[in-house]
Amino acid sequence: MSGLGGGGYMLVRPAGEAQSYAVSFGMVAPGALDPADYPLTGEAGADLFGWPAVEGDRNTRGPFAVAVPGQVAGLALARERFGSWGWADLVAPACALAERGMEVDWHATVAIAASAPELAQDPGCAATYLADGFPLATPWTGDAPRIRLGSLAETLRRLAEAGPADFYTGEIARAICADMAALGGRLSDTDLADYAAQVEEAPATRYRDALLLSFLADFGMSPDDAAHCPRINVDGPDLVEADARLPAETLALLEARFALAVRPHGVHPSAYACPNAVVWDPQSGTATGVAHVMSPNACSQTRIGMITPSLNTVLEPVTYALLSDLPDVTAHFSRVRVTHISLGDDAASQFADEPMLAAARMLADARVHAICWNGTAGSWLGPDFDRRLCEAIARETGIPATSATLALAELFRSRGISASPW
């Protein structure tokens, strides 16, 4: 959902000002969207979001997965309100990168290979990413190959020259609509022309000694609604001492506060799942009839905390994919800075106790039930390193800790495996 076809959000605090602003430019469903286009299979999806599965994955792939893009409008609004550079100057670096094409390093090869079956189903994607039907790979010697990303460079040049409005009402908009019509999608010229990004004073909520800035556009509020919306106070004594409550009671308390704060202020019912009435008794501190704004499983799920090296960029999505069939288990990540891997002392020093313990403390704050060091330091520093580290983490946090290396060794022992067949 990133790039020209996606959307996003931006928090801005201009230099010398105390006020922060929220720029919201999320994607919007086409006006002609028909829920009948997305028949459910009755199963859970295997993607990272865990949405209900749709026949043919029509909600995540193909023309029916296309929403009205907001990124161009959002960046243009941010430049207009807060920027000092001209539009063409800002787009120029992106044009240069697109002209060069995408360098195919090892990570790109892995990502493309993992998505090859889906890429092959789309002629445009196949022509771009699957040369002769196969993913490109970096050669043993010489420069890495580059992939020319279709018409991206030409589109960016046009965007730089004609301005951001061209994406929604000009030549680029007409090209987008023509492609959508040819593919049978629902996106129309009216959808593009009617799109508008929003900027507002960033809603702020005080939580203990921190000030949390957020976006209310997510809940369908206009800036005027947001200005009059009561803030949800999560710093009251009933939540500070929430550990004394049952998880379900804390969940009900949060849901009631959330619903009472946003429901009277113009929030569209489709913005969140809250079809039921909310009855909140401030004297007893209980709520009844609260709809599940939040997941009711959130309080009963098993939470696994993972400490991961910063240079590993695939661990999170792979882990979420592996856990997709376990709705009662969630993974939480805390990264440690790792910039290079070697057998030298300088590489080993990256795994000193303090940064590892700092990462573990963050996971402990998230109330995880177990912590796993998901790096491979034990593979060359020896299993004793992992044992000592995990013992230190357990002492520091009071939470059981292991590592990927130790867990794998234990699995082998439990299965009676003492040597590799290779």
Least confident of 143-157, 171-185, 394-408: 394-408
Contacts of 279 (CB under 8 A, 6+ apart): 287, 288, 289
- Residue 250 banded pLDDT, cuts 50, 70, 90: low
- Residue 45 banded pLDDT, cuts 50, 70, 90: confident
Q: 184, 404, 228: which is closest to 307 by C-alpha?
A: 404
Residue extents of the structural domains in the chain:
1-30+66-100+156-202, 102-147, 206-296, 301-414
Average pLDDT, the chain: 78
Query: Diameter of the chain by CA atoms?
Result: 73
H or E segment to which residue 158 belongs? helix 152-162
- Kindly state the percentage of the chain with pLDDT values over 70: 73
Query: How much is the average pLDDT of 112-130?
Result: 91
Q: Which residue has the higher pLDDT, 258 or 112?
A: 112
pLDDT in tens, 322-337: 777 777 888 888 888 8
Report the pLDDT value the prediction gives residue 420, as an integer from 0 to 100.
60
pLDDT exceeds 70 at position 69: yes
pLDDT in tens, 340-395: 666 666 667 777 888 889 999 999 988 889 999 887 655 566 778 888 889 999 99
pLDDT exceeds 70 at position 271: no
Q: 183, 179, 172: which is closest to 72 by C-alpha?
A: 172
Query: How much is the average pLDDT of 20-46?
Result: 89
Contacts of 329 (CB under 8 A, 6+ apart): 301, 302, 303, 304, 323
Cα dihedral across residues 42, 43, 44, 46: positive or negative = negative
pLDDT exceeds 90 at position 78: yes
- Residue 277 banded pLDDT, cuts 50, 70, 90: very low
Q: How many residues does the chain have?
A: 422
Report the pLDDT value the prediction gives residue 107, as an integer from 0 to 100.
87
| Parallel/antiparallel/unpaired status of strands 210-213 and 302-309 | unpaired
pLDDT exceeds 80 at position 260: no
- Residue 248 banded pLDDT, cuts 50, 70, 90: low
- Residue 4 banded pLDDT, cuts 50, 70, 90: very high
Tokens of 275: 């079809």
Contacts of 308 (CB under 8 A, 6+ apart): 315, 316, 333, 334, 335, 336, 374, 375
Report the pLDDT value the prediction gives residue 175, as an integer from 0 to 100.
96
- Residue 139 banded pLDDT, cuts 50, 70, 90: confident
Query: How much is the average pLDDT of 122-146?
Result: 89
Query: Which CATH fold topology does 301-414 show?
Result: Rossmann fold (3.40.50)
Cα dihedral across residues 258, 259, 265, 269: positive or negative = positive
pLDDT in tens, 213-235: 877 544 444 444 444 444 444 44
pTM strictly above 0.75: no
Report the pLDDT value the prediction gives residue 241, as an integer from 0 to 100.
45
